Structure 1
């Protein structure tokens, strides 16, 4: 499905039954119910048959995740981490992985900033924002004006006169409320970041410097100290923007289709990471995720074996299986982990894979 045709979904009007909500948070329905009396929690009831049933919005779930964290019931990181999703090949589910991982980590109680580092703005669109239309044009279509994008990473870093300086609070989006993952969106003008970085000093370290200072509260326009994870979604190209995100990262997340072209792209990435280690004295961890996997297909198994040999210990045990759920979720304007129709083959597999990723992050 074309990202330009994604429908508008009002996340405040998405209601989950207790079992689905509990599955998102990785807890039981009994544990879920125990948070109803927490200060500030207001669980809605909707008539289903003759008995009002409890329902939860996405924002409710992220608030419960935050409460669970405050009570020491979730896993925590030893330090703030930065992740880049990248492989130099299109169609491997990079954006789907980035957006849903941001949601998963939020459900697990972590504070996440997702940065759309691709001028096409696919991650921005997947979360319900329009990188192309003005607020007035959106209102004409019956979509709230706040779904328009008012800047990007370029405006926050402000490396040149190509971008009007703005504060993080002026640009950031919070699709699921304060406690959910935050989004630093993209728009078409972000492509000028390539020119701006190229003209700056220490051009490969612009993002790393920005993140380091932001986490230390040294940037008045961008306080990043509250985020456990900063997650970059990148274009499938080895641009200066992508390279900056990778240099700044502790982990490179690589969704890989089980075909020879994707595996070849990952092999090129392996060579690039070796040169990174030599040139920048940085060696980010790698997590390769088999995507669009079809069970019991000999060719897929052969590519998986080759991938495991290429990156020993870096390939996730879990796999993201081929499923129509992904396109159906997009048609509903929701990421898979927030779509009520998702099956164990899609959302369940995704939670399993992301659980492995979280375990690696906890150990870093």
Structure 2
């Protein structure tokens, strides 16, 4: 991943604050900010890590300690709806609000992990030969943290599994790689033995968020996010059952009402079986209000799921394709902070935070300013 930097104006846009606030808060936080070389004005140059450090400082300054911790799954029963792009951007924007974010890649294809700059296919030997840092490689995933993995190898402490692509105050990542697919086989064995594997992730989160296990202390995180694969399997069901909220991105370029109906049915089954279920939010992606098909789909979705349909949507944009070619390899919200797409992502994330009722009114007024 390249080294993206920002001037003060870019940082102000990312954090939704004034340029003067950026300068003042950076000084208050004691951040070590590089200055631009040359004979001209010594402009401050912020790294991505600097920006997240500043966001964390503002979170402490304005008391952005959530009223409650939340668990969120981003899931769509079909591929090609922009789910991983939505996940990576939401995770970054939440951290820019000063929240402590853990995002977990549940897809053995590891698209989210790759989007954060890691290479699940790279061996340590290949990394050394290519002159890449060993941290680029992925050795562990969620499976290595669960008791089920004892049948397949040793359970690892959280510190060995976690990745920090943007430093200590950016979103943290539990990555994925191809052997995560074995976890589903272990869950299937549990199902045959009547052990209710769909509850395994919920138990794991409860233990971690409570801080009872020193090797699995998740208590520092305000929000835990799952990026779930389209597969309709035990792992995905377990993440949904463990979650307070579920975001379902739908592609407005093609009809998605069946996918939302399927997810609503799954949530209904959970409600009837466990009396626990995530609250559903439907996020329109690839949105173009001028297209007749899109308008018809919005009518269908809002009629059937009026409370789930989000007020903010993400428009179709070439910007998403362009960032894939950038050397920086950053999610769009970081790579193109002044773009319309970034504005839309921030607005959608703000709506999610409000739906999750994580912050009190004064904290939202002082800290939740997403331009």
Structure 2: stretches of 5+ with no match in the other structure? 360-371
Matched, 1:112 2:101: yes
Deviation at 1:38, TM superposition (A): 2.4
Spell out, residue by residue over 1:301-341, the C-alpha distance to the aligned partner (whole angstroms, 9 max, x if none). 1111111112112211111011111111122111101104x
List alignment gaps of at least 5 residues for structure 1. 1-8
The corresponding residue for 2:210 is 216
* Aligned twin of 1:43: 33
The Cα of 1:357 is off from its aligned counterpart by 0.7
Partner secondary structure for residue 36 of structure 2:
strand
Identify if the C-alpha distance between structure 1 residues 23 and 212 changes in structure 2 by more than 3 Å, giving closer, same or farther. same
Matched, 1:188 2:178: yes
Aligned residues: 352
Check conservation: 1:59, 1:177, Cα contact below 8 A: yes
Give the Cα separation in 1 of the matches to 2:264 and 2:252: 17
Q: CA deviation at 1:21?
A: 1.0
CA RMSD of aligned residues (A): 1.6
**Per the alignment, in what secondary structure is the counterpart of residue 65 of structure 1?**
helix
Query: 2:269, 2:169 → 1: CA distance?
Result: 38
After TM superposition, which residue ranges in structure 1, 4 or more long, deviate above 4 angstroms? Answer: none
- The TM-score, its normalising length taken from structure 1, stands at 0.93
Contact preservation (8 Å) 1:154, 1:163? no
Contact between 1:77 and 1:361, CA under 8 Å: does it hold in 2?
no
- Post-superposition Cα deviations, 1:181-201, rounded to whole Å, max 9, x if no partner, equal 100000111000001122232
Asked whether 1:339 is paired with 2:342, we answer no
Where do residues 1-364 of structure 1 align in structure 2 (5 Å cutoff)? 9-10=1-2, 13-47=3-37, 50-72=40-62, 74=64, 76-160=65-149, 161-200=151-190, 201-332=195-326, 333-340=329-336, 343-362=338-357
Q: For residues 27 and 235 of structure 1, what CA distance do their matches in structure 2 show?
A: 35
- 1:363, CA displacement in angstroms? 5.3
Superimposed CA distance per residue, residues 120-144 of structure 1 (whole angstroms, 9 cap, x where no aligned partner): 1110000001111112212333422
